[in-house]
Amino acid sequence: MSFTHAFDATSLREYDIRGIVGKTLHPADAYAIGRTFGSIVARNGGKSVAVGYDGRLSSPELEHSLVQGLVASGMDVVRVGRGPTPMLYFASVTHKADGAVMVTGSHNPPDYNGFKMMLANKPFFGEQIKELGRLSAEGDVVPEHAGNVRDLDVHADYIARLLKDYDGGERTLRVVWDNGNSAAGDVLAQLVRVLPGEHIVLNPDIDGTFPAHHPDPTVAKNLEQIIAAVKAEKADIGIAFDGDADRIGVVDNKGQILWGDQTLVILARDVLKNHPGGTIIADVKASQVLFDEVKAAGGTPLMWKTGHSLIKSKMAETRSPLAGEMSGHIFFADKWYGFDDAIYAAIRMLGIVARMDTPLSDVRDALPSTISTPELRFDCPDTRKFAVIDEVASRLKESGADVSPIDGVRVNTADGWWLLRASNTQAVLVARAEARSEEGLERLKEALVDQLEKSGIAAPDFSGENAGH
């Protein structure tokens, strides 16, 4: 039986395949991903693919169609069932699968869903996703022949492995968790039964409608519930997850948010005790404070491109023990497997806090303070966005500015820095600025706006409040 399938043009993204269910994403797409990705695995010399799915209402149907496509490509499919994305990664690595596919909409609204993939336990992204789309459209797949399917429950093994690296010593903590109705719900319920300390779990049930709040812990509004609970319970720390639990949010004992780079500072100091001089990677959106603190702790800071797949690849290349992004992706290769896992990051964070002789808020408050804009995203056509970055970079180079071109342009000045980059997944430009004073931040904003106007781009809305950091 011949096979061809064309995906909606908007669904093939840089790091995953993603769309709106019933509009740009359908079960037929899931089948096509299975049929084509299975062919890629086969041509890569592989035979087995691990599959998991999150708690979204559309995920079971999409997973079913995905599995059918994989089986038609002759794959031995290992179905790990519903759970967080990192549990699938864990299953893939520990059971030596040749490929892995997670059905997940991550932190997107309930009507979205998507697919994250690994090939030979490495990220499958960028040009590989484009190639998958081309192979599907052309019907360039292996001849149809039936594979096999088996179910594998890895919950117990995953939880036991998480617990193995808890190193909190004698002190017990009072912890508030906001599962956010995420796919981590079943794992978290079992984990807190055996993890030392007192644990209060908010929104424990897996619910793909996300009735409590949007499943994205990098947005302050989504942390209001856990902040209130931490204060009410007089907890030592609060931990929040996104929809598939590969991104973490952290709140200290005062209810103050620790942003992704601040969390990474605390984790890096601990990891560097066993990896002196180790390379700690953070994305280009991270605070200069992070890079300075890593250096002060004896590490080698490395600024890299935004994107979890890009970070994972750079970690493997540099043998970095730890990396992170402002978006809350934390990657441990120290004791762990190098993939982003918010539950594992939480375990390591709890161990550090339990060994502290001061509250977490003291450590957070001791970090140098800066003032920054929120991440600003504004429309720019796909056909224009990279050209704008090139134009800005060229003008800055001519002016002798101190520019890092790793991912867009990050401009360092006496006041601080500003960033302008093109999104890899949307028709938008992304901007951010950080300074040591309000006056300095205003000068950085003016410099950014000036460059945008020179390229004929309307400046983003800076009217929102600046954030202390």
| Spatial separation of the C-alpha atoms in residues 424 and 112, rounded to whole Å | 18
Strands 122-123, 112-119: pairing kind = antiparallel
| Spatial separation of the C-alpha atoms in residues 71 and 88, rounded to whole Å | 18
Cβ atoms within 10 Å, residue 283: 27
State the DSSP code for 102: E
Amino acid at 249: G
Q: What value, to the nearest 5°, has the Cα angle with vertex 345 and ends 344 and 350?
A: 100
Helix (H) or strand (E) run with residue 342 in it:
helix 342-355
State the DSSP string of 323-340: EE-TTS-EEE-SSS-SSB
| Spatial separation of the C-alpha atoms in residues 345 and 336, rounded to whole Å | 10
- DSSP 3-state percent helix, strand, coil across the chain (nearest 5): 35, 25, 40
Decide: 468 and 369 in contact? Cβ < 8 Å: yes
Active-site residue, from 48, 106, 182, 309:
106
| Spatial separation of the C-alpha atoms in residues 217 and 240, rounded to whole Å | 6
Distance in angstroms between the alpha carbons of the first and the last residue of the chain: 58
Residues 6+ positions from 219 with CB-CB distance below 8 Å: none
| Spatial separation of the C-alpha atoms in residues 121 and 99, rounded to whole Å | 7
Is 320 designated active site?
Answer: no
Closest CA to 373 of 430, 456, 299: 430
Bridge partners (DSSP) of residue 145 are 73
Residues with a known catalytic role: 106
